[in-house]
Structures are given as C-alpha cells and as structure tokens.
Amino acid sequence: MVNALCKDGKFHKVKAFFSQMEAKGVFPDVVTYNTLINAHSLMGNESEAFELLNSMRGLGLKPGVYTYNAIINGLCKKGMYERARGVLDEMLGVGLSPDAATFNPLLVESCRKDDVREAERVFDEMLGYGVVPDLISFGSVIGVFSRNGCFDRALEYFRKLKGAGLVADTVIYTILIDGYCRNGNVAEALNVRNEMVARGCVMDVVTYNTLLNGLCKGKMLGDADELFREMVERGVFPDYYTLTTLIRGYCKDGNMNRALGLFESMTQRSLKPDVVTYNTLMDGFCKIGEMERAKELWGDMVSRGILPNYVSFSILINGFCSLGLMGEAFRVWDDMMEKGVRPTLVTCNTVIKGFLRAGNVSKASEFLNKMIMEGVSPDCISYNTLINGFVKEENFDRAFVLVNSMEERGLVPDVVTYNAILGGYCRQGRMHEAEMVLRKMIDSGINPDRATYTAMINGHVSLDNLKEAFRFHDEMLQRGFVPDDKF
C-alpha cells in the first residue's frame, strides 16, 4: 500500500495511512521507512528524507545500507555532492559496509561535473572498501576520461573492465566509439563497432549518430551514407541528430543537393528542423556564393516560426561580405540590431574583412569605431586585418596609429601585426624601415616566423642585395624554418 502511494507521489495519503496504522497499534518498520525515504529522495525532497531518517532512529530502528544509498542517490541527483559525501561518512561511521549502489551515484555526479580527479578518487575508494565496480562504475569513469581528452586512460579502464570479467554494453561501446571519433581515428571506431556487434550488443540510435558524426567529420561521406542505409534497414529510426549530422557533413563537402534531399527527408519523417538545421544549410549555400538560396531558407525558417539567432545573422553577413556585397550585408546588420540581437566579435571582424575585400579601407576603419561604440571590443584579429589593409594601400602612418591604438586598449601586437608592416616595407624595397620593424619585434619578445624571413629575403633579392638575402636565409635555417628557395 505504502509503496503504491509513493510511486504515485501521494505522500499526503501516506501520512494519513500512517496515522491509521498507529491508531491500530501497528508501527512502520525499516522496509516501510526505506520505501518512503527512497521515494522522497527520488523526488528531490531531501528535507523530508532526512526527517524520516531521524524519525526512524527515534523509534529505535536502525537505518541500513539501502537507507543511506537512497539518500546519497537523491542528493547526487540534485547536485548536492558534498552533502552526499557527508552521508557516506556517517554511514561508514556507524559500521555499515558500502556497495556499488553507494558509490555509483557519487561517481556519476563527479563525472557529470567532468571532475576527473574526483571520479578517479571515488573509484579507487570503492576498490579500497572491497567493492566490485559494475558496468555503471566503469562506464562513468570511461566516459569522463574520454570526454576530457584522456582517451588513453579511458582505454585503460576498458581493459580493467574486461579483466574483471564484465561484458561491455551498448553504452560503454558507444563511449569508446565517440572517443576514437573525437581523436580522428574513425577506422578504430569502426573496429569497436564490429566487436560490439560480434558480442551481441545492439547498436541504438545514439551509437549510429556517434559513428555518423565521426564519418562526416572525417569526410567519409560514402561510408556515412552506407551506415545510414544500414541503420534504416535494421529498423533503427533516424532522429533529428542523425539527419542534422548528415546535412552538416554534406554542406561542408559542398554537396548542397544531397543536403537539401536529407532536409526534405527530415520533414517527411515528421522531424522538425530547428535554427541549427537552417543555419547549417544557409552556411553551406553562403560558402558557395549562392546567397539567393540562403535567403530563401531564411524566409522558410521565419515562416515556420523559427527565430534567427546571432549565428543566423552572422552567416548571412559573412556570405555577403565574402562577395563584397556590403550594402546587402548591412541590411542584414540593421535587421539584426532592430531585433535586439547583439553582434559578436566574429561578426564584426567579418565586416571589416568584407570592406577590405571591397577595397574600402576607410569604411573598415569607420566600422572599427562603430563596433567599439556598440560595446564590442576589438581583438588582435580586428586590428591586424585593418593594419594589413592600410599597409596594402601604402598608408604606413595609419597602420602605426592603429598599432598605438591597439596597445592603448591593452592588446599586444603579435607576429602577424609586425609581419604585415614589415612585409609592406619589403615589397616597397624599404629595407632600412623593415630592419627597424624587425628589431622592434625582437626587442618586444616576439620571435620572427617563416613569413618574416621570407619577406626579408624577398625584399633584399628585389634590390639585388644577395649577401643580406643569404644572411637571412641562413638565420632562417638555424631557427628551424624551411625556406622557399626560389630566389
């Protein structure tokens, strides 16, 4: 009766039932309390769970491992990790022996927070108490190591899992497949898939999506298509992530016809595309210069009630800027500002590059001031792009004004900054000025790179000063750079 009421969350009726029991001289036992404590813990009612724990003790009933495990699990689900650790300490203090169900919630929570050290500490602590880890235990640590760039450690724990006589399940195999895909080793991910199937594990939609993502990122689109067909044939229904992953892969490959076909398949399957899907398609068309198709998708997106986000605006602005269509780009910009979408630094840098592509350095410079007024702080890329623009126009005075402005804003000129100015002087054969820039660069603690030396060599060669050219050539070799020996 109590269990049924708890499952329905009717705790007020449980209290009434308790009162009736007590009136008849029947008092709740440990099982009854455990049922209530577990139900409250799962519902996130930790205060009620602790109140019942105290009530239980007051009646002389001893909480057991199950009791404490229920509370630890509830606290971990609410992210109250430190309090859960305190309950574990209390449990150990009264002489109870923890089991896998005690430690697993702590493991799962520390892994959810990507706290690799804490997860490993809990795992070791578990072993220290003689508790045998189960698939949940191993799956948690394998996952946290894989997600946080420690894939070798993840594989080490996978070997431990096998050594303990456990058989990995679909979840653990999918984690490994994801880890190999993250590391760009799709071939090994496919080997894991083969092992998984050979051991009788069934690939689910998450496993397929993980492999498809790896294949698409590795530009193995033929294999991705084959896997997609296999997925459908085996009765695993593609979801939103399946089709969006494939759409992204084909957009990056420039195969927009296939991407659109998958998009149509998405709507036929009653899967709703979202702003991410539309952004992916619009970006694909923008990258091949088909702005009309991108605008059509924008209209379709809006007509479906899907609001464009800052990424959507940035994609269209970038598309128009890359073609030098600054008027169109600013129509989108104005629309973005009217809708209260704040421009990002990446969007602003795109506009600066767009003006330079269109050969309008002065407008790019004006825009730099405008972005600052809009509350977007320029970075080194903003300044370097503009400095390069003025250098190409042989306006070194404005370039140096920008370097000073850059430093006033707390930005440190980098090798790209110096190379832009130094390269400009070299192209003009003004090698004395180029040497001065080089000295300042070195004095500022910035090491010349291959581009620096190439510019200096080419500059001296253009003046038939081969002695100096070979001096920089030799210095370049000493610094480990491979020169382009075409002079």
Instruction: Give 234-266 pLDDT, tens digit per residue.
Output: 999 999 999 999 999 999 999 999 999 999 999
The token pair at 204 is: 């689910």
Closest C-alpha to 446, from 471, 467, 421: 421
Share of the chain above pLDDT 90, in %: 77
Cα separation, 465 vs 314, whole angstroms: 47
Residues 324 and 312: their CA atoms lie apart, in Å, by: 19
- For Cα atoms 389, 390, 396, give the angle at the middle one, nearest 5 degrees: 145
**Cβ atoms 77, 44 nearer than 8 A:** yes
Q: What pLDDT, in 10s, does the model give residues 455-477?
A: 999 999 999 999 988 999 888 88
pLDDT of amino acid 289: 93
Look at residue 457 and tell me if it is in a domain: yes
Whether residue 421 lies inside any domain: the answer is: yes
Q: How confident is the model at residue 19 (pLDDT cuts 50, 70, 90)?
A: low
Q: Which two tokens stand for residue 472?
A: 């920089």
State the burial class of residue 234 (Cβ atoms within 10 Å of its Cβ: 0-12, 13-18, 19+).
exposed
* Cα–Cα dist 144/150, whole Å: 8
Q: Quick one: which of 444, 426, 445, 443 has its CA closest to 434?
A: 426
- Whether the per-residue pLDDT at 17 is higher than 80: the answer is no
Q: Is residue 386 part of a domain?
A: no
| Per-residue three-class SS string for 123-139 | HHHHHHCCCCCCHHHHH
**Digit-coded pLDDT (tens) for 307-322:** 999 999 999 999 999 9
Q: Is residue 365 part of a domain?
A: no
Instruction: Name which of 86, 1, 82, 14 is nearest 43 in CA terms.
Output: 14
Contact between residue 301 and residue 278 where contact means Cβ atoms under 8 Å apart: yes
Residue 1 within any structural domain of the chain: no
pTM score, whole prediction: 0.76
pLDDT in tens, 107-149: 999 999 999 999 999 999 999 999 999 999 999 999 999 999 8
- The closest alpha carbon to 128, from 93, 162, 97, belongs to 97
Residue 2: the pLDDT is: 45
For residue 261, give both structure tokens: 């076909």
Region for residue 413 given its phi and psi (left: phi exceeds 0; alpha: psi -120 to 50; beta: otherwise): beta
Quick one: pLDDT band at residue 3, thresholds 50, 70, 90? very low
* Banded pLDDT at 52 (limits 50, 70, 90): confident
Query: In this structure, is residue 441 part of a structural domain?
Result: yes
Contact 61, 29 (CB under 8 A): yes
Domain that includes residue 466, residue range: 414-487
Residue 87 pLDDT more than 90? Answer: yes
Residue 222, domain member (yes or no): no
pLDDT, position 21 = 61
CA angle 337, 343, 344 (to 5 degrees): 175
CATH classification at residue 449: 1.25.40.10
Average pLDDT over residues 334-344: 90
Give a yes or no: residue 276 inside a domain.
no
Domain count, the chain: 1
Q: Mean pLDDT over all residues of the chain?
A: 90
